[in-house]
Amino acid sequence: MRNPDSTEHRPEGLATDVWRRFRRHPGAIAGLLVLSLLMLAIILAGLSPYDPETSDIPSRLQPPSWEHPMGTDPLGRDLLTRVLYGGRVSLLVGFMVVVISLVIGAPMGAVAGYFGGWIDNVLMRITDTVMTLPSLLVLILLSAILHEVEVPLFQRNSPMTIALAIGLLSWMTTARLVRASFLAIRERDFITAAHSVGASHSRIMIRHILPNVIGPITVQATLEMGYAIMGESGLSFLGFGIRPPTPSWGNLLSNAHQHLARHPWLAIFPGLMIFLIIISVSYIGDGLRDAFDPFKVLKQVGEI
């Protein structure tokens, strides 16, 4: 028997459905627009006539003007160019963290939710424990250790290293979310049916349950990207992330701290970029949440 309410859509059907509902959310559309513009500008940063790292002392600390829309920094470099190149770091880190937290969190949550029992207990205690760690403090410690030693794969000052460190500390919400969905869905009739025709555990998990969890995962991944960008800029602001001369929004702000009184534009623009990207991402996440209605599945089985 097919349940008319079940989320059995063909792939393109789901996407159209989601997009139709997503469009009705004005904040989400505005967020998508702003994010696309920012990403476009960041991708095209190479077209700028200025170099992000070569100093030009005669034109140092100029206020915003036509030639330098965001002004110049203490070494005469064009701030707009540096901000756009900094955006590359932020977006790369944000994207990588999402990938890492999916790669760790999704299988962990799936196994815990599907098998339950002691496996669930052990995996969730580990998740809880990592969750209680104040992540920034651990990141600072990791960064201090990595700065001291030469470890293969962990190049200093590379966005990948930062992304890996942040990613290792941000998969927990994904794991919990996936677990809750698996826990709810594995009790449903179509899973019993799949078992009865001899489907293997891995097939049931990947082919039958996972498609139902796409919604919550997408929403969480979007929000996670915002947190990761915020985390990277915070870490770089403190001097434990990306270090100058490579620009990143965080280290641009930390540099601005010393010049706050006389050259405020140095502090205003990089922060504004962080703000714009985070607010766009959270509106998009909100729109996706409504569009996917991730709790529909859970409501159907009476979980909430």
> Contact residues for another protein (CB under 8 A)?
27, 125-126, 128-129, 131-138, 140-146, 148-151, 226, 230, 233-234, 237-240, 253, 256-257, 260-261, 264, 267-268, 271, 274-275, 278-279, 282-283, 286
- Minimum distance, C-beta of residue 194 to another protein, in the bound complex (Å): 29
What is the chain's percent helix, strand, coil content, to nearest 5?
70, 0, 25
Q: How far is the CB of 215 from another protein (least distance, A)?
A: 19
Q: How many C-beta atoms surround the C-beta of residue 294 within 10 A?
A: 21
Query: What distance lies between CA 20 and its chain's CA centroid?
Result: 24
Tell me how far, at minimum, the Cβ of 2 lies from another protein, in Å. Answer: 31
Rounded Cα–Cα distance for residues 301 and 304 (Å):
8
User: Which CB sits closer to another protein, 33 or 133?
Assistant: 133
Q: Which ranges in 238-264 belong to alpha helices (H)?
A: 249-257
Q: Is the Cβ of residue 7 or residue 90 nearer to another protein in the bound state?
A: 90
Q: How far is the CB of 129 from another protein (least distance, A)?
A: 5
Question: Amino acid identity of 155?
Answer: Q
CA-angle at 87, arms to 85 and 88, nearest 5°: 70
Nearer to another protein, 205 or 273 (CB): 273
CB of 7 or CB of 234, closer to another protein: 234
Rounded to whole angstroms, the Cα distance separating 1 from 258 reads 69
Nearest residue (CB) to another protein, 52 versus 234: 234
Smallest gap from Cβ 5 to another protein, in A, equals 23
Q: Given the complex with another protein, which of 81 and 236 has the nearer CB atom?
A: 236
User: How near is the Cβ of 158 to another protein at its closest, in Å?
Assistant: 17
How many angstroms from the chain centroid is the CA of residue 59? 36
Biggest alpha carbon distance in the chain?
77
